[in-house]
Amino acid sequence: MGEAQAFIKSERGGEELASERALLLRALGDVEGIFGALMGKMGESIYHVGLQANRVLHALAEVIIGWLLLGHAALALEKIDEASEKDRAFYEGKIASARFFCANVLPAITLTRKLIEKSSLNVMQVNEAAF
């Protein structure tokens, strides 16, 4: 998380990737909020962790993927002007995939945070005979 925050602060990719870095920053904040919410809920029951673990891991993985894709896109922006035509297409793909991921995947982490914050243990109250 620290490395992703350092990347955002470095402003690599300049204005070209400013909105994508902002989306990554928001996603990082949401992951921090997820961990904070779970820490609070663990006081009630460890079952909160078990019930939400997949969501937490998925959100964390998406943040890491977004950070890595933005790093690739920033490097592509640095190299694209001197690139051959073949390499230019490769670099354009790196930039496009990072933009797509940040715009279409990272915002979902906000919903994940809200679901975890509002989660309950109601399912744990269901009688075993129901299954």
Q: What is the pTM of this model?
A: 0.90
Looking at residue 131, its pLDDT comes to 85
Tens digits of residue pLDDT in 3-37 = 999 999 999 999 999 999 999 999 999 999 999 99
Give the integer Cα–Cα distance in Å for 116 and 9: 28
Give 32's contacts (C-beta < 8 A, 6+ positions apart): 1
Asked whether 13 and 21 are in contact (CB, 8 A), the reply is yes
Confidence bin at 66 (pLDDT 50/70/90): very high
Looking at residue 130, its pLDDT comes to 87
If you ran DSSP here, which 8-state letter would residue 121 be given? S
Give the integer Cα–Cα distance in Å for 100 and 65: 12
- Structural domains of the chain, with CATH: 15-119 (1.20.140)
Tens digits of residue pLDDT in 69-119 = 999 999 999 999 999 999 999 999 999 999 999 999 999 999 999 999 999
Q: What is the mean pLDDT of residues 54-77?
A: 97
